[in-house]
């Protein structure tokens, strides 16, 4: 890692998440907004997985569900 890359990493505005934060339950909407997921994709995921408003997941579980949702065959339904 070059000096500039190291300095840029140290000056990041977003603090790295600790293990405790990664295991904490958070609302799906918050997790999606942190990752830049568009609203229509959030709505699609909620419908696909049967998540009700206020559903909470860990960051790891959300990312796993998001990746599975993205690679599913189109028109698969539930």
Cα Dmax for the chain: 50
Q: What is the pLDDT of residues 19-66, one digit of tens each?
A: 655 578 999 999 999 999 999 999 999 999 999 999 999 999 999 999
Query: Is residue 11 one of the residues assigned to a domain?
Result: no
SS3 category, 72: coil
Q: Is the overall model pTM greater than 0.75, yes or no?
A: no
Query: Is residue 15 one of the residues assigned to a domain?
Result: no
Q: Which domain, by its residues, includes 52?
A: 21-78
The domain tally of the chain equals 1
**7 pLDDT higher than 80:** no
Query: Is residue 13 one of the residues assigned to a domain?
Result: no
The token pair that represents 77 in the structure block = 């339904």
Query: Is residue 14 one of the residues assigned to a domain?
Result: no
Query: Is residue 67 one of the residues assigned to a domain?
Result: yes
The token pair that represents 54 in the structure block = 């206020």
* Angle value at C-alpha 73, between 43 and 51, nearest 5 degrees: 30
Q: How confident is the model at residue 4 (pLDDT cuts 50, 70, 90)?
A: low
């Amino acid at each position: 890692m070059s000096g500039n890359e190291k300095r840029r990493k140290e000056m990041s505005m977003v603090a790295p998440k600790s293990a405790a934060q990664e295991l904490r339950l958070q609302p799906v909407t918050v997790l999606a907004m942190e990752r830049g997921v568009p609203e229509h994709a959030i709505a699609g995921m909620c419908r696909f997985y049967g998540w009700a408003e206020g559903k909470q997941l860990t960051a790891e579980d959300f990312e796993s569900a998001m990746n599975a949702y993205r690679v599913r065959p189109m028109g698969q339904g539930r």
